[in-house]
Amino acid sequence: MTFSKINVNIDVVHLTGFEVVPFLILLTIAGCVGRPLPSKLDDVDKQPLQTSRPYNIAHRGSNGEFPEETAAAYMRAIGEGADFIETEILASKDGVLICSHDVTFDLDNRTNIANFSQFADRKRTYEVQGVNMTGWFVVDFTLEELKLLGVNQRFSFRDQQYNGKFPIITFKEYISIALDAKRVVGIYPEIKNPVFINKHVSDFPCVIIILGSKKIIPTQLIRSNGQMGKKFEDKFVETLMKFAYKGSYMSKEWLKQPAFVQSFAPTSLTYIANLTDLPKIFLIHDVTVLKEDTNQTYYDITSDSYLDFMKNYVVGIGPWKDTIVTTKNNYLNEVTDLVAKAHARGLQVHIFSWCMMSKICEHSQ
Ligand SMILES: *[C@@H]1O[C@H](CO)[C@@H](O)[C@H](O)[C@H]1NC(C)=O
Ligand SMILES: *[C@@H]1O[C@H](CO)[C@@H](O)[C@H](O)[C@H]1NC(C)=O
Ligand SMILES: *[C@@H]1O[C@H](CO)[C@@H](O)[C@H](O)[C@H]1NC(C)=O
Ligand SMILES: *[C@@H]1O[C@H](CO)[C@@H](O)[C@H](O)[C@H]1NC(C)=O
Ligand SMILES: *[C@@H]1O[C@H](CO)[C@@H](O)[C@H](O)[C@H]1NC(C)=O
């Protein structure tokens, strides 16, 4: 299967209003569409990605200024010089990939959903990574419904004037923001809560367009593991491929449209390692947090043998900064050996996250 024609079907998807065209039929589609590619994908005159100093990755956009993961936050981050814009990808009830940090819309008051009387009866309790959570869950809302919501500033000590003014954006809209930038700006999407999403969004919509007709038949695809239906990870990689994100770290293709794929879930990373050679980052949480899919501990995943295994399919680790330098009473305490162990294996280290506010500077922002 070749993916070289994948750009072409962006127009097809756009025209039909459907989210997904299965890659099994891409050649068919490519053969019947004569429209030119969007010019932004062919732009060769852009200022290239800087590679001489560490990357500046805008975590959830410029979220100190605008509500996080909104178009405004990402555009401001690009204006401020970010090399990459970072996001978390989740899925709506109808299988559309969206940018949102949390599986619920009301955690930390981060949207104005409480003001929508038509959604009052939509609160649910689900188990998320071993904990029962109650709230309005992304997987219970269609894209059309969640587009009604406005995003709030997460922390009360930040500027509240934009609360409710910007909508949640889709993965595609986020990609368009990066591609529309006047210089090369990379993307840094996370496959977020994959166990939860695969459990609650049972299938991602796909359509088959019969050559020479407008007939659209809902169908299921054979997953890359041979089973029927698509997984969240399939849809995630398909979206990247549609927008021509491909190539290993520092390859010519990668430098043109740089992307890192990040996840806390090792099974998602190994699964997509079979689908794309884009560089992957293995996220590492607080020492108390177990892996959502494999139940491995922090000590399991940072052991010498596991780092040796991991380096075969990821280019780096993305640890929470307190696992690099521990803190005591809000002061730096001890430097751990994690960076040395990663560097000894040629693994990059992308730490999260740094902010100008000392008040809440933990992983949760
Ligand atoms: C939630 O955000 C709204 C602004 O949209 C604000 O008026 C309200 O006080 C916030 N509620 C809490 C509990 O922080
Ligand atoms: C709900 O609407 C009221 C009035 O417009 C506003 O003050 C409040 O902040 C809103 N709540 C949320 C959670 O956005
Ligand atoms: C979550 O709630 C359900 C229903 O009350 C219960 O069966 C389950 O054990 C709870 N899970 C956790 C992790 O507390
Ligand atoms: C990746 O592909 C190989 C070879 O087909 C297969 O053995 C392996 O199970 C796949 N890995 C995952 C995680 O799907
Ligand atoms: C995960 O591991 C912990 C101990 O590390 C154990 O107590 C727990 O039962 C395990 N959970 C699952 C679902 O295997």
Q: Is the CB of 195 under 6 A from ligand 5?
A: no
Pocket test of ligand 5: the residue of 290, 291, 296, 301 to mutate, having most ligand atoms within 8 Å of its CB, is: 290
Calculate how far, in angstroms, residue 92's C-alpha sits from the geometric centre of ligand 4. 28
Contacts of 175 (CB under 8 A, 6+ apart): 187, 239, 243, 245
Q: CA–CA separation, 38 vs 274, rounded Å?
A: 28
pLDDT of residue 355: 77
- Domain segments of the chain: what residues? 6-278, 282-365
- 224 class by beta-carbon count within 10 Å (0-12 exposed, 13-18 middle, 19+ buried): middle
Q: Are strands 348-349 and 316-319 parallel, antiparallel or unpaired?
A: parallel
Q: Is the CB of 127 under 6 A from ligand 3?
A: yes
Residue 121 sits at φ, ψ, to 5 deg, of -90, 15
Helix residue ranges per DSSP H, 243-359? 252-256, 266-273, 298-301, 304-310, 338-344
Calculate how far, in angstroms, residue 199's C-alpha sits from the geometric centre of ligand 3. 16
As given in the structure block, the two tokens for residue 4 are: 């070289």
Q: Is the CB of 224 under 6 A from ligand 2?
A: no
pLDDT of residue 211: 56
pLDDT of residue 227: 58
pLDDT of residue 71: 98
Calculate how far, in angstroms, residue 151's C-alpha sits from the geometric centre of ligand 1. 11
pLDDT of residue 99: 98
pLDDT of residue 22: 33
Residue nearest to atom 9 of ligand 2 (CA): 112
Domain 6-278: what homologous superfamily?
Answer: Phosphatidylinositol (PI) phosphodiesterase (3.20.20.190)
User: What is the biggest distance separating any 2 CA atoms in the chain, rounded to whole angstroms?
Assistant: 68
Q: Within 10 Å of residue 56's Cβ, how many Cβ atoms?
A: 13
Q: Are strands 216-218 and 207-209 parallel, antiparallel or unpaired?
A: antiparallel
Q: List, run by run, the mean pLDDT of 10-residue segments along the chain (365 residues).
A: 25 23 32 38 80 96 95 98 98 96 90 96 96 96 97 92 98 98 98 95 61 49 58 94 97 98 98 96 95 96 98 97 89 94 98 73 46
**pTM of the complete model beyond 0.85:** no
Q: Is the CB of 132 under 6 A from ligand 3?
A: yes
Q: CA–CA separation, 319 vs 285, rounded Å?
A: 6
Residue nearest to atom 5 of ligand 4 (CA): 274
Calculate how far, in angstroms, residue 330's C-alpha sits from the geometric centre of ligand 5. 31
CA torsion 302-308-309-313 (nearest 10°) is 100
Q: Is the CB of 288 under 6 A from ligand 5?
A: no
Closest atom, ligand 5, to C-alpha of 130: 13
Closest atom, ligand 1, to C-alpha of 109: 1
Can you point out the beta strands (E) in the chain? 57-58, 84-91, 97-99, 124-128, 131-135, 186-191, 207-209, 216-218, 261-263, 280-284, 316-319, 325-328, 331-335, 348-349
Residues facing 320 on adjacent strands: 352
Q: What is the DSSP string of 25-45?
A: GHHHHHHH--PPPPGGGG---
